[in-house]
Amino acid sequence: MASNYKRTKEWLDLAFKNIERVLKYYKDNDYADTVFKIQMSIEQLQKGLIFLLGMQFRKTHEPSEILESIEFNDNIQLEKKTLERIKKIAALAKNIEGERTATRYGIIKNDELITPEDKYDKTKTCIFLNDLKDILVIFNDLLEEIPNLEQELINILDFIEKLKDLSRK
């Protein structure tokens, strides 16, 4: 059975691959796919964190609920600062989680289908891009003292800079 540490790295790797797609799709003005990949990457980052905390989970598209619950988990002892950071990640993640399947399938409004391509414009996409950037900044703070995650930290810092560059354009 794989260790939680190994699973953390696997989930972070998945998230990083999706963040690469976020950057590509955004540059191509494909905002619907950008938002969908933001949603995927934020979900995967949270799942990596859940494993890093020594927890297991069943399939979920709302890992923020698991992260919020650790405050009341007597088996997990965290410093107050660490807990506040985790709660901030969960709060930021709820924005994109609240989109549910709209990022992939669109929504029905007034008996009309609004496709993801119609729903997500540059302005809405930038809101979610900023949430992703903020989550990565917090992740960097959380992971910087954990051994053997040097490459992941380098990737996170690189993505933060790339996302900042996108927001300046």
Of 7-21, 71-85, 118-132, the least confident: 71-85
Q: What is the pLDDT of residue 168?
A: 77
Return the sign of the alpha-carbon dihedral for residues 20, 126, 93, 39: negative
14-65 confidence digits (pLDDT tens): 999 999 999 999 999 999 999 999 999 999 999 999 999 988 877 888 999 9
Q: Is 54 in a helix, a strand, or coil?
A: coil
β-pairing, 107-109 with 112-114? Answer: antiparallel
5: number of CA atoms within 13 Å, CB side?
Answer: 5
Q: In whole numbers, what is the pLDDT of the chain averaged over residues?
A: 93
Residue 162 has pLDDT above 90, yes or no: yes
Separation in Å, CA 34 to CA 78, 102, 137, 158? 34, 13, 19, 18
Superfamily of chain region 4-168: Nucleotidyltransferases  domain 2 (1.20.120.330)
Helix (H) or strand (E) holding 134: helix 122-143
Domain coordinates in residue numbering, the chain: 4-168
Cα–Cα distance for residue pair 96/79, rounded to 1 Å = 27
Q: Is 108 in a helix, a strand, or coil?
A: strand
pTM for this predicted structure: 0.94
Cα–Cα distance for residue pair 35/89, rounded to 1 Å = 17
Q: Residues 76, 41: contact at Cβ < 8 Å?
A: no
